[in-house]
Amino acid sequence: MAAQVAGSGRSAARAVPARTVTSPAATNTGAINTAAPLLRMSMGFAGRPAVPACHHDRMTVTVTAARALQGERADDWQRVADATKGFLPADEGSALRAAALSTGLSTGSGTWLEIGTYCGKSTVHLGSAAREVGAHLVTVDHHRGSEENQPGWEWHDAALVDQHTGRLETLPSLRHALWDAGLDQTVTVVVGSTQQVAGWWRTPVDLLFLDGNHTEAVALHDYAAFAPHVVAGGLLAVHDVFPDPADGGQAPWHVVQLALGDGFAQEAVTGSLRLLRKESTR
Ligand SMILES: C[S@@+](CC[C@H](N)C(=O)[O-])C[C@H]1O[C@@H](n2cnc3c(N)ncnc32)[C@H](O)[C@@H]1O
């Protein structure tokens, strides 16, 4: 008998997105240049003067020293992202990161918001991009997992069960990923439900990544609660978008349809990842 995802009215087989769980052994073939941070600093970005060439060596030393203090190597984010449990395939991670970088280069050093952290795979992609452009990433999750992560469901990982509570607990994995990638200063971790956070969130965001609960009610709630905070020219990224119900749950697809009517224009599609830009005319 097919189980139901609460609120979705769909069987598990159809409601649960056809995700690829990317294992630590997975390789990332993304072509993002990991030497870009220093290059970017020498180029400057919107609203900031380019760093004079004569300052480049000194800045290189400063940045390298800062990273050494965090125990980080320049290319660590990629290694950490690959090694972190999660649901973002390598090509989608690369596309998300590239779009985040270009957003940061045009909007400047603002606030980015991720809904749905899990163990931090997408957080490392986004956080490493935020660090490059001087943005700050806030990532929100109650860390107890979605319906499909609970025992008996397809995407349950018994290794993530906390012996103290007997519940799924992804926060320690996230903390390790951020530590390993040297992202503690770039990422603020908010532990709570999106319903809790929506009650007090007031900050404009340059980038919003929606990858939390995929039931219809919560996915629509998350869009309605946070999308209005996206600034003109800002990026909305939605994960697990499946136009065909045979491929996965429909809630993220419905979110994209809403966004297209709310002044967002679709910019790119990679796998189940949709990238939309908030038009500046509305
Ligand atoms: C698909 S996973 C996120 C995957 C992650 N972005 C990655 O790259 O692997 C969805 C996450 O949403 C979280 N979640 C589900 N319902 C939530 C809610 N109401 N508030 C906050 N987080 C929620 C779950 O705990 C889960 O970690």
Centre of ligand 1 to C-alpha 71, Å, is 28
Give the residue from 42, 73, 104 where a domain finishes.
73
Mean pLDDT, to the nearest integer, of 98-107?
96
* Runs of H (alpha helix) within the chain: 12-15, 36-43, 53-69, 76-83, 90-107, 121-133, 171-180, 194-198, 216-226, 251-260
* Domain endpoint, select from 73, 101, 136: 73
Q: Are residues 267 and 162 in the same domain?
A: yes
Percent of the chain with pLDDT over 90: 71
In a shared domain, residues 164 and 242: yes
Question: Judging by beta carbons within 10 Å of its beta carbon (0-12, 13-18, 19+), is residue 234 exposed, middle or buried?
Answer: buried
In this structure, is residue 20 part of a structural domain?
Answer: no
What residues make up the domain containing 255? Answer: 77-278
Both 161 and 260 in one domain: the answer is yes
Report pLDDT digits (tens) over 20-47. Answer: 444 333 333 333 333 333 333 322 223 3
Average pLDDT estimate for 245-263: 97
pLDDT of residue 188: 98
164 and 258 part of one domain: yes
* Cα-based distances in Å from 146 to 37, 138, 194, 243: 34, 19, 12, 21
> CA–CA separation, 261 vs 24, rounded Å?
39
Q: Are residues 130 and 177 in the same domain?
A: yes
Same domain, 44 and 108: no
Among 113, 115, 118, say which to mutate for ligand 1: greatest number of ligand atoms within 8 Å of CB. 118
212 Cβ inside 6 Å of ligand 1:
yes
Residues 91 and 109 in one domain: yes
pLDDT of res. 280: 82
Cβ distance 237 to 272 under 8 Å?
no
66 with 204, same domain: the answer is no
Query: Do 106 and 186 fall into the same domain?
Result: yes
Q: Does the pLDDT value for residue 168 go beyond 50?
A: yes
Q: Are residues 203 and 273 in the same domain?
A: yes
How many structural domains comprise the chain?
2
Q: Is 218 contained in some domain?
A: yes
Average pLDDT over residues 192-205: 98
Q: Is the CB of 20 under 6 A from ligand 1?
A: no
Q: Do residues 145 and 247 both lie within one domain?
A: yes
Active-site annotation, residues: 214
Alpha-carbon span 208 to 138, nearest angstrom = 10
The Cα 101–Cα 148 span in angstroms is: 31
What is the per-residue pLDDT for 281? Answer: 64
Instruction: Write out pLDDT tens, residues 64-77.
Output: 444 444 444 546 89
Instruction: Name the 3-class secondary structure at 4.
Output: strand
pTM of the complete model: 0.79
